Amino acid sequence: MKAPAFAEKSVRCAHVGGFHDMVYSDWGPRTGSYAIVCVHGLTRNGRDFDRLALELARGGYRVLAPDIVGRGRSDRLGPLASYEIAQYINDITVMLAAEGLRSVDWVGTSMGGLIGMSIAVMAGHPIKRLLLNDVGPYVPKEALQRIGDYVGIPWRFDSFDLALNHVRQAYAPFGLKTEEDWRYLAELSLKQDAAGKWVMAYDTRIADAFKNTEIADIDLWPFWAQISVPTLVLRGEESDLLGRETAEKMTRTGPKAKLIEVSGCGHAPALMDAHQIGLVRDWVQSS
Protein backbone atom coordinates (compact mmCIF):
# COMPACT_ATOMS: atom_id res chain seq x y z
CA MET A 1 0.00 0.00 0.00
CA LYS A 2 1.59 3.26 -1.15
CA ALA A 3 1.92 5.80 1.66
CA PRO A 4 -0.28 8.85 0.95
CA ALA A 5 0.89 12.41 1.50
CA PHE A 6 -0.08 13.45 5.00
CA ALA A 7 1.75 14.49 8.15
CA GLU A 8 1.59 11.91 10.93
CA LYS A 9 1.35 13.69 14.27
CA SER A 10 0.51 12.89 17.88
CA VAL A 11 -0.63 14.60 21.05
CA ARG A 12 0.08 13.53 24.62
CA CYS A 13 -3.14 12.96 26.54
CA ALA A 14 -3.99 11.90 30.09
CA HIS A 15 -6.05 8.99 31.35
CA VAL A 16 -6.66 7.56 34.80
CA GLY A 17 -3.30 6.27 35.96
CA GLY A 18 -1.13 7.56 33.14
CA PHE A 19 -0.63 9.21 29.77
CA HIS A 20 -0.94 8.07 26.17
CA ASP A 21 -0.24 9.34 22.67
CA MET A 22 -3.10 9.80 20.23
CA VAL A 23 -1.81 9.69 16.65
CA TYR A 24 -3.57 11.50 13.81
CA SER A 25 -3.15 12.18 10.12
CA ASP A 26 -3.03 15.83 9.05
CA TRP A 27 -3.93 16.47 5.41
CA GLY A 28 -4.01 19.60 3.29
CA PRO A 29 -2.98 23.20 3.97
CA ARG A 30 -2.02 23.72 7.62
CA THR A 31 -3.26 27.27 8.02
CA GLY A 32 -6.21 28.95 9.73
CA SER A 33 -8.41 27.84 12.60
CA TYR A 34 -10.81 25.60 10.60
CA ALA A 35 -10.52 21.95 9.57
CA ILE A 36 -12.59 18.88 8.78
CA VAL A 37 -12.31 16.24 11.50
CA CYS A 38 -13.02 12.63 10.50
CA VAL A 39 -13.58 10.13 13.31
CA HIS A 40 -13.88 6.39 12.74
CA GLY A 41 -16.02 3.58 14.12
CA LEU A 42 -15.47 1.36 17.15
CA THR A 43 -12.88 -1.06 15.75
CA ARG A 44 -11.56 1.10 12.95
CA ASN A 45 -8.87 3.81 12.71
CA GLY A 46 -8.19 7.15 11.07
CA ARG A 47 -6.50 5.63 8.03
CA ASP A 48 -9.98 4.58 6.87
CA PHE A 49 -10.37 8.16 5.67
CA ASP A 50 -7.20 8.27 3.54
CA ARG A 51 -9.03 8.29 0.20
CA LEU A 52 -11.63 10.79 1.38
CA ALA A 53 -9.03 13.04 2.99
CA LEU A 54 -6.86 13.00 -0.12
CA GLU A 55 -9.80 14.13 -2.25
CA LEU A 56 -10.71 16.91 0.18
CA ALA A 57 -7.09 18.04 0.52
CA ARG A 58 -6.86 18.33 -3.26
CA GLY A 59 -9.75 20.77 -2.99
CA GLY A 60 -7.83 22.93 -0.52
CA TYR A 61 -9.34 21.62 2.70
CA ARG A 62 -7.46 20.64 5.83
CA VAL A 63 -8.47 17.25 7.26
CA LEU A 64 -7.53 15.68 10.59
CA ALA A 65 -8.19 11.97 11.08
CA PRO A 66 -7.24 10.64 14.53
CA ASP A 67 -6.75 7.05 15.60
CA ILE A 68 -8.88 7.10 18.74
CA VAL A 69 -6.90 5.70 21.69
CA GLY A 70 -6.72 1.91 21.63
CA ARG A 71 -6.84 1.75 17.84
CA GLY A 72 -4.38 1.82 14.98
CA ARG A 73 -1.22 3.85 15.60
CA SER A 74 -2.34 5.28 18.95
CA ASP A 75 -1.33 3.93 22.34
CA ARG A 76 -3.45 1.56 24.40
CA LEU A 77 -4.89 2.72 27.72
CA GLY A 78 -3.45 1.66 31.05
CA PRO A 79 -5.26 -0.93 33.20
CA LEU A 80 -7.01 1.64 35.42
CA ALA A 81 -8.58 3.55 32.52
CA SER A 82 -11.73 2.78 30.55
CA TYR A 83 -12.47 3.12 26.85
CA GLU A 84 -15.37 5.55 26.88
CA ILE A 85 -16.65 8.59 25.02
CA ALA A 86 -15.61 11.06 27.73
CA GLN A 87 -11.98 9.95 27.23
CA TYR A 88 -12.25 10.31 23.47
CA ILE A 89 -13.72 13.81 23.75
CA ASN A 90 -10.88 14.88 26.03
CA ASP A 91 -8.26 13.52 23.62
CA ILE A 92 -9.82 15.19 20.58
CA THR A 93 -10.02 18.47 22.50
CA VAL A 94 -6.28 18.23 23.15
CA MET A 95 -5.68 17.68 19.42
CA LEU A 96 -7.83 20.65 18.40
CA ALA A 97 -6.10 22.89 20.94
CA ALA A 98 -2.65 21.76 19.78
CA GLU A 99 -3.57 22.66 16.20
CA GLY A 100 -5.24 25.96 17.11
CA LEU A 101 -8.59 24.87 15.66
CA ARG A 102 -11.74 26.62 16.83
CA SER A 103 -14.18 25.61 14.08
CA VAL A 104 -14.63 22.18 12.50
CA ASP A 105 -16.88 20.25 10.19
CA TRP A 106 -17.30 16.83 11.78
CA VAL A 107 -17.50 13.58 9.80
CA GLY A 108 -18.26 10.71 12.18
CA THR A 109 -18.77 7.06 11.30
CA SER A 110 -20.70 5.04 13.89
CA MET A 111 -18.81 5.65 17.17
CA GLY A 112 -17.29 8.75 15.60
CA GLY A 113 -20.79 10.07 15.05
CA LEU A 114 -21.77 9.38 18.66
CA ILE A 115 -18.70 11.34 19.76
CA GLY A 116 -19.69 14.18 17.44
CA MET A 117 -23.25 14.28 18.76
CA SER A 118 -21.93 14.32 22.32
CA ILE A 119 -19.70 17.30 21.55
CA ALA A 120 -22.42 19.14 19.62
CA VAL A 121 -24.60 19.50 22.74
CA MET A 122 -21.79 21.01 24.84
CA ALA A 123 -21.64 24.76 25.43
CA GLY A 124 -19.04 26.50 23.27
CA HIS A 125 -18.42 23.45 21.08
CA PRO A 126 -16.37 23.88 17.87
CA ILE A 127 -18.62 21.93 15.48
CA LYS A 128 -19.96 24.06 12.64
CA ARG A 129 -21.65 21.22 10.74
CA LEU A 130 -22.17 17.53 11.43
CA LEU A 131 -22.12 14.52 9.12
CA LEU A 132 -23.28 11.30 10.76
CA ASN A 133 -22.34 8.17 8.85
CA ASP A 134 -24.82 5.41 9.68
CA VAL A 135 -25.50 6.34 13.28
CA GLY A 136 -28.17 8.25 15.14
CA PRO A 137 -29.59 8.91 18.59
CA TYR A 138 -31.18 5.46 18.79
CA VAL A 139 -29.18 2.23 18.44
CA PRO A 140 -31.00 -1.09 19.02
CA LYS A 141 -29.42 -3.53 21.43
CA GLU A 142 -29.45 -6.28 18.80
CA ALA A 143 -26.95 -4.33 16.68
CA LEU A 144 -24.81 -3.65 19.73
CA GLN A 145 -24.87 -7.35 20.62
CA ARG A 146 -23.72 -8.28 17.11
CA ILE A 147 -20.75 -5.96 17.45
CA GLY A 148 -19.98 -7.05 21.01
CA ASP A 149 -19.92 -10.72 19.99
CA TYR A 150 -16.73 -10.32 17.92
CA VAL A 151 -14.94 -7.21 19.20
CA GLY A 152 -13.45 -8.74 22.34
CA ILE A 153 -12.06 -11.88 20.68
CA PRO A 154 -8.23 -11.78 20.39
CA TRP A 155 -8.09 -12.93 16.78
CA ARG A 156 -4.64 -14.19 15.62
CA PHE A 157 -3.85 -15.52 12.16
CA ASP A 158 -0.83 -17.34 10.77
CA SER A 159 -0.95 -15.55 7.42
CA PHE A 160 -2.17 -12.31 5.93
CA ASP A 161 -4.53 -14.19 3.61
CA LEU A 162 -6.25 -15.90 6.56
CA ALA A 163 -6.57 -12.53 8.27
CA LEU A 164 -7.92 -11.02 5.05
CA ASN A 165 -10.69 -13.62 5.00
CA HIS A 166 -11.63 -12.63 8.54
CA VAL A 167 -11.74 -8.95 7.60
CA ARG A 168 -14.05 -9.76 4.69
CA GLN A 169 -16.43 -11.56 7.05
CA ALA A 170 -16.28 -9.05 9.91
CA TYR A 171 -16.81 -6.04 7.67
CA ALA A 172 -19.03 -7.59 5.00
CA PRO A 173 -21.73 -4.92 5.60
CA PHE A 174 -19.29 -2.27 4.29
CA GLY A 175 -20.24 -3.55 0.86
CA LEU A 176 -16.81 -3.21 -0.76
CA LYS A 177 -16.96 -4.36 -4.36
CA THR A 178 -13.43 -5.33 -5.44
CA GLU A 179 -10.65 -7.58 -4.23
CA GLU A 180 -8.37 -4.53 -4.30
CA ASP A 181 -10.65 -2.70 -1.88
CA TRP A 182 -10.83 -5.65 0.51
CA ARG A 183 -7.07 -6.00 0.53
CA TYR A 184 -6.75 -2.27 1.11
CA LEU A 185 -9.17 -2.45 4.05
CA ALA A 186 -7.29 -5.44 5.49
CA GLU A 187 -4.00 -3.55 5.32
CA LEU A 188 -5.61 -0.78 7.36
CA SER A 189 -7.17 -3.27 9.80
CA LEU A 190 -4.25 -5.54 10.65
CA LYS A 191 -0.78 -5.54 12.16
CA GLN A 192 1.78 -8.20 13.06
CA ASP A 193 2.50 -8.97 16.70
CA ALA A 194 5.90 -9.83 18.19
CA ALA A 195 5.48 -13.47 17.16
CA GLY A 196 4.71 -12.56 13.56
CA LYS A 197 1.02 -13.39 13.82
CA TRP A 198 -1.55 -11.14 12.17
CA VAL A 199 -3.88 -9.43 14.66
CA MET A 200 -6.54 -6.74 14.51
CA ALA A 201 -5.18 -3.24 15.03
CA TYR A 202 -7.17 -2.45 18.16
CA ASP A 203 -7.12 -3.26 21.87
CA THR A 204 -9.67 -5.98 22.63
CA ARG A 205 -10.39 -4.12 25.88
CA ILE A 206 -12.58 -1.77 23.86
CA ALA A 207 -15.15 -4.56 24.27
CA ASP A 208 -15.23 -4.18 28.07
CA ALA A 209 -18.28 -1.93 27.84
CA PHE A 210 -20.16 -4.82 26.23
CA LYS A 211 -18.98 -7.35 28.84
CA ASN A 212 -19.33 -5.39 32.07
CA THR A 213 -22.90 -4.15 31.68
CA GLU A 214 -26.11 -5.57 30.31
CA ILE A 215 -26.46 -4.49 26.70
CA ALA A 216 -29.44 -2.20 26.19
CA ASP A 217 -30.73 0.13 23.49
CA ILE A 218 -28.91 3.45 23.20
CA ASP A 219 -31.49 6.23 23.39
CA LEU A 220 -30.09 9.74 22.94
CA TRP A 221 -33.19 11.48 21.60
CA PRO A 222 -33.09 14.12 24.39
CA PHE A 223 -29.53 15.01 23.28
CA TRP A 224 -30.57 15.00 19.63
CA ALA A 225 -33.20 17.62 20.42
CA GLN A 226 -30.44 19.94 21.64
CA ILE A 227 -28.32 19.78 18.47
CA SER A 228 -28.75 22.86 16.32
CA VAL A 229 -25.96 22.69 13.72
CA PRO A 230 -26.73 21.71 10.10
CA THR A 231 -26.58 17.93 9.91
CA LEU A 232 -26.35 15.36 7.12
CA VAL A 233 -27.09 11.69 7.80
CA LEU A 234 -25.80 8.93 5.55
CA ARG A 235 -27.57 5.61 6.04
CA GLY A 236 -26.47 2.26 4.65
CA GLU A 237 -29.51 0.83 2.89
CA GLU A 238 -29.16 -2.50 4.74
CA SER A 239 -28.01 -1.08 8.09
CA ASP A 240 -29.08 -2.82 11.29
CA LEU A 241 -27.60 -0.07 13.47
CA LEU A 242 -29.41 2.93 11.98
CA GLY A 243 -32.95 1.85 11.18
CA ARG A 244 -34.90 3.65 8.48
CA GLU A 245 -37.54 4.74 11.00
CA THR A 246 -34.86 6.30 13.21
CA ALA A 247 -33.21 8.00 10.25
CA GLU A 248 -36.50 9.46 9.06
CA LYS A 249 -37.31 10.71 12.56
CA MET A 250 -33.93 12.50 12.54
CA THR A 251 -35.15 14.56 9.57
CA ARG A 252 -38.16 15.81 11.56
CA THR A 253 -36.61 16.47 14.98
CA GLY A 254 -33.59 18.20 16.49
CA PRO A 255 -31.51 19.76 13.70
CA LYS A 256 -33.90 18.27 11.10
CA ALA A 257 -31.11 16.51 9.28
CA LYS A 258 -30.88 15.91 5.57
CA LEU A 259 -30.90 12.15 4.87
CA ILE A 260 -29.15 10.28 2.06
CA GLU A 261 -29.50 6.52 1.80
CA VAL A 262 -26.50 4.68 0.36
CA SER A 263 -27.30 1.53 -1.62
CA GLY A 264 -25.31 -1.69 -1.61
CA CYS A 265 -24.12 -1.59 1.99
CA GLY A 266 -25.19 -1.92 5.59
CA HIS A 267 -23.31 -0.67 8.63
CA ALA A 268 -21.50 1.34 7.61
CA PRO A 269 -20.75 2.99 4.27
CA ALA A 270 -16.95 2.82 4.02
CA LEU A 271 -16.58 6.28 2.40
CA MET A 272 -13.90 4.78 0.15
CA ASP A 273 -15.50 4.63 -3.30
CA ALA A 274 -15.95 7.54 -5.68
CA HIS A 275 -19.71 7.86 -5.12
CA GLN A 276 -19.55 7.95 -1.33
CA ILE A 277 -16.53 10.26 -1.34
CA GLY A 278 -18.50 12.52 -3.68
CA LEU A 279 -21.39 12.71 -1.20
CA VAL A 280 -19.05 13.99 1.50
CA ARG A 281 -17.20 16.32 -0.87
CA ASP A 282 -20.45 17.88 -2.06
CA TRP A 283 -21.54 18.37 1.56
CA VAL A 284 -18.24 20.06 2.44
CA GLN A 285 -18.45 22.34 -0.60
CA SER A 286 -22.07 23.30 0.09
CA SER A 287 -21.14 25.67 2.92
Given this model, what pLDDT does residue 177 score? 94
pLDDT at 99 over 90: yes
What amino acid is encoded at 163 in this protein? A
Of 106-115, 139-148, 254-263, give the lowest mean pLDDT range: 139-148
Task: Tell me how far apart the alpha carbons of residues 253 and 268 are, in angstroms, rounded to a whole number.
Answer: 23
Given this model, what pLDDT does residue 215 score? 87
Residue-averaged pLDDT of the chain:
96
Kindly indicate whether the domain formed by 7-136+219-285 is annotated with CATH number 3.40.50.1820.
yes
Q: What is the pLDDT of residues 157-173, one digit of tens each?
A: 999 999 999 999 999 99
Q: What is the pLDDT of residues 179-208, one digit of tens each?
A: 999 999 999 999 999 999 999 999 999 998
Entry pTM? 0.96
* Number of neighbouring beta carbons within 10 Å of residue 134: 26
Task: Give the start-to-end residue ranges of the domains of the chain.
Answer: 7-136+219-285
pLDDT at 148 over 90: no
Given this model, what pLDDT does residue 4 score? 58
Confidence grade of residue 147 (pLDDT, cut at 50, 70, 90): confident
Who has greater pLDDT, 5 or 280?
280
| Burial track 29-39 (b if 16+ CB lie within 10 A, e otherwise) | eeeeeebbbbb
Percent of the chain whose pLDDT exceeds 70 = 98
pLDDT at 123 over 80: yes
